[in-house]
Structure formats: structure tokens, C-alpha cells
Amino acid sequence: MSDTSGEREKREAGRYAADLVGQGTVIGLGTGSTVFFAMERLGERIKEGLEFAGVPTSYQAAFRARQYGIPLTDLDENLILDLTIDGADQVSHDLSLIKGRGGAQVREKIVAAASRRLYIVVDESKCASHLDAVVPVEVLPFAWATVTGRIATLGGRPVLREGQGKDGPVITDNGNFILDCSFGALSDPAGMEGTLDRIPGVVGSGIFAGFTKKTIVIVGGGSGCRVLPPSRAPHH
């Protein structure tokens, strides 16, 4: 079966980012299909002699990394990472992000905060002039009902994410629930991120507005990859 154009774009972006990983580095490994294409290329580069270690952001990322022979480490051993390769559900013109469709946004945010550079790999469909996608919010099970009420007062429409293949809510790698919250267009992503973080019981949201200065977005396209912003385009 041939790849769709979206899959080809993801593969291009993921492999482009993988070729930016330097010898002896420690990198964050995000969760999601585009990052898995990067891991595929990293596995090839290991066979070519590349040595590095990865910090996975989820059990899924760890399982996939091991399949490709990627050595794993953690933040206990590496407080600062050289870079992270991750995906996004939506990228705005100012490089703010919405993440968390895979339910790993809290660990991804922790790893992003520890990284010198954040390479976000996406296809063209993820780029938007402003953020208006559903915002995943990880919450303590004890607090999910009260958090739901607080988010509703902010104008959001929160829905408890339920599992597929099992009855009941999705449980994150941290043992928590996820509320998928529709707010419409976010006029102030950083402000909304801070507001959500201050609600008692919220572990973290999928709004990533605090990393724009170190974010480099790699967009796969039909004629190759483009880098946002162009001024930060790395040597490839």
C-alpha cells in the first residue's frame, strides 16, 4: 500500500530532523507517528556509526525506540538535553503549539523544558494562523469533576477522553485522566496556558506557548521540507 501525501510529508520531516542529531548527544524523543519516522532514520544512523542516547516521553516512545536499537536514558542522568524531536497537533505562526492527542503532553513538556532546542516535525495540515484545536488537559482523577466545572466557566467545553478497546477513561502514563477541551480560537495562548495550570488538580495542558524562542518547526511538503522560522534553519 502506498503512503498518503500526509504520511510522506511526516516521513520527510521526521527523517530531516533525525539527520540533525549530532555525535554524542542526548535527545528527547517525543510521542507520535512523525517522531517514529525520525526514530526509523536514527536507527539507520546508529548502524552507520552514530552514538547518542534518547529520553522517551512515553512508554510507547520507549517501546518504539528499543525496536530501532536506540539507547535510552532519563532526566535523572541528564538534566539538560541537546535537543528534542517531537510532533504537534497544531502550530501557529508564532510557533506556539497544541499537543497531546497521544496523551503524553505533560512528559513532553517536561522534556521540552530541559532541552536546548525543540525540533517540531509536522506535515502541512498542522500549520495554522492561530491555535484553535482541541486542548488536552491532564487532570488528577480525584479532581476531574471540579476541573471540568472550572474549565466550563472559562468558556471551554471539556470532554473526558474515553478509551478505545476498553470501557472507561483513558489513563495517561502518569495515572491521570485527560479532558479534551474546545475553546475556539485562542487569542492569548500563553495566558490560557497559565490559567489552566493554576486550576487545582490540573497536571498540565497541551498548550506549549513558552518555548517559542527555542522552537524550530520542520514542515514536510511535496517538494521537500521547509523550516520555520527560516532564520533558525539548521545546517543539514
Active site residues: 108
Answer whether 144's CB lies under 8 Å from 211's CB. Answer: no
With a CB cutoff of 8 Å and minimum separation 6, the contacts of 207 are 96, 97, 98, 131, 135, 186, 189, 190, 192, 193, 196
Let me know if 170 is exposed, middle or buried by CB neighbors in 10 A (0-12, 13-18, 19+): middle
Q: For residue 15, what is the enclosing H or E element?
A: helix 5-18
Q: Going along the chain, which residue ranges are E strands?
A: 25-29, 52-56, 83-86, 90-91, 97-98, 118-123, 135-139, 157-160, 177-182, 202-205, 207-208, 215-221, 224-228
DSSP assignment of 202-215: EEEESEE-S-GGGE
Peptide linkage before 136 cis (omega within 30 of 0): no
